[in-house]
Amino acid sequence: MTQASAPGKAILFGEHAVVYDQPAIAVPLSDLRTTVIIRSIDAQPPSVHVVATDLDHSFWLHEMDDRDPLAYAIRLALQATMPELQESFEISVSSKIPIASGLGSGAAASVAIIRALSSFFKVDLSDASISALAYRVEKLHHGTPSGIDNSTIAFEQALYYKRNQDPQPFSLGRPLQLVLGHCGVDSQTGAVVAAVRDRWQASMEEYSAIFSQIGELVERGYDNLKAGDHKQVGILMNENHALLQRIGVSNQALDQLVARASTSGAYGAKLSGAGAGGFMIALVGTETRESVARALQDAGARHILVVQVSG
Ligand code: PMV
């Protein structure tokens, strides 16, 4: 039996603007993981059985086409590790990362699958090659991904990220305590990114100016995260949320949760990921963690997660 896993991720600064070549910062959520287990099975000719445990769904790989992201990730990983299949195996995928919520569940499944297969077939793949393969699956999910999800998840480190450049891992000055609240509406990254593109095309000057302002916030956020100045990081998160509102990717439920987090003691809060649904994140201190989680619950959050991001 071979097992591998990959974490979720949260974008702290710069979502959407990163698609337009501005920098962004994301951190892995190592407590929330997708796990993949591979076991040899008896089946002839050599075949792959896939079990998506949480979806209560299973299939033979040869019966699925590449539009299924799990099938596509497995095929890409097999091309890189064992192009001529000589044995049968079952691959099960299970996850603690909520789907369609901005936490990188798709990229985590891809990375965990690729890692598990590389270990099963004893083919060493670097984090960069795993990330590059997972990026190809991300493209299937949502057309023009920046690559921040697969990079943060494959490297499992805090990253300063710019499209088409090597990701820059960095150390946080202090661990982060985050409370995440789901606003109750699912988020489809591809659709939200496409809608932003339409609006950018219609008002290019205005949108490009907002993306540049987000880029400036990211630089300041980067300095303050390295210095461990969470008060400043929180202020910048609030500013980032206001700019995300201006590009139309927040909604009333996210705005309410963000406002409640701030009035209940968080350093700051913002939506995270594509928006128009999914999770918001609040940066808190140990002493405010409980009060913020309770306030988000009172404000109607569908799902609350309290996580720590170390180093
Ligand atoms: O919703 P998520 O977790 O896939 O994050 C999307 C982040 C965007 O910046 C909106 C898109 C991207 O590809 O970077």
**pLDDT at position 271 over 90:** yes
Q: From ligand 1's centre to the CA of 153, what distance in Å? A: 13
Per-residue pLDDT band at 129 (split at 50, 70, 90): very high
**pLDDT at position 145 over 80:** yes
Beta strands 2-13 and 24-40: pairing type? antiparallel
Distance CA 39, CA 19 (A): 39
Contact between 112 and 72 under an 8 Å Cβ cutoff? The reply is no
User: What's the angle, vertex CA 70, arms to CA 67 and CA 71, rounded to 5?
Assistant: 60
Q: Report which protein residue has its CA nearest ligand 1's atom 14.
A: 146
Compute the mean pLDDT over every residue in the chain, rounded to the nearest whole number: 96
**pLDDT at position 38 over 90:** yes
User: 18: Cβ below 6 Å to ligand 1?
Assistant: yes
> What pLDDT shows up at residue 55?
85
Of 219, 119, 223, residue with least CA distance to 172? 223
- Residue found by looking up tokens 């710069």 in the block: 14
Residues 276-286, mean pLDDT to the nearest whole number? 97
Per-residue pLDDT band at 113 (split at 50, 70, 90): very high
**pLDDT at position 311 over 80:** no
User: 189: Cβ below 6 Å to ligand 1?
Assistant: yes
**pLDDT at position 141 over 90:** no
Residues 94-117, mean pLDDT to the nearest whole number? 95
Instruction: Indicate the DSSP class of residue 282.
Output: E
Residue type, 176: L
Q: From ligand 1's centre to the CA of 196, what distance in Å? A: 12
Distance CA 293, CA 121 (A): 43
Secondary structure of residue 145 in the 3-state scheme: coil
Known catalytic residues are 149
> What pLDDT shows up at residue 246?
98
User: 138: Cβ below 6 Å to ligand 1?
Assistant: no
Q: Which two three-digit tokens encode residue 124?
A: 């060493």
Contact between 98 and 303 under an 8 Å Cβ cutoff? The reply is yes
Q: State pLDDT tens for residues 54-104.
A: 888 999 999 999 899 999 999 999 999 999 999 999 999 999 999 989 999
User: 15: Cβ below 6 Å to ligand 1?
Assistant: yes
Q: Looking at the CA of residue 278, tell me the nearest atom of ligand 1.
A: 1
- The count of other CB atoms within 10 Å of the CB of residue 122 is 9
Contact between 71 and 65 under an 8 Å Cβ cutoff? The reply is yes
Per-residue pLDDT band at 224 (split at 50, 70, 90): very high
Q: Which two three-digit tokens encode residue 98?
A: 């909520």
Secondary structure of residue 279 in the 3-state scheme: strand
> What pLDDT shows up at residue 183?
97
Q: From ligand 1's centre to the CA of 273, what distance in Å? A: 5
> What pLDDT shows up at residue 140?
87
Residue 259 neighbours by CB under 8 Å, 6+ apart: none
Contact between 193 and 16 under an 8 Å Cβ cutoff? The reply is yes
Distance CA 116, CA 112 (A): 6
> What pLDDT shows up at residue 82?
93
Residues 253-267, mean pLDDT to the nearest whole number? 97
> What pLDDT shows up at residue 231?
98
Listed in sequence order, the DSSP H helices in the chain are: 69-81, 105-120, 127-142, 148-155, 189-202, 204-227, 230-246, 252-263, 289-298
Q: From ligand 1's centre to the CA of 43, what distance in Å? A: 39
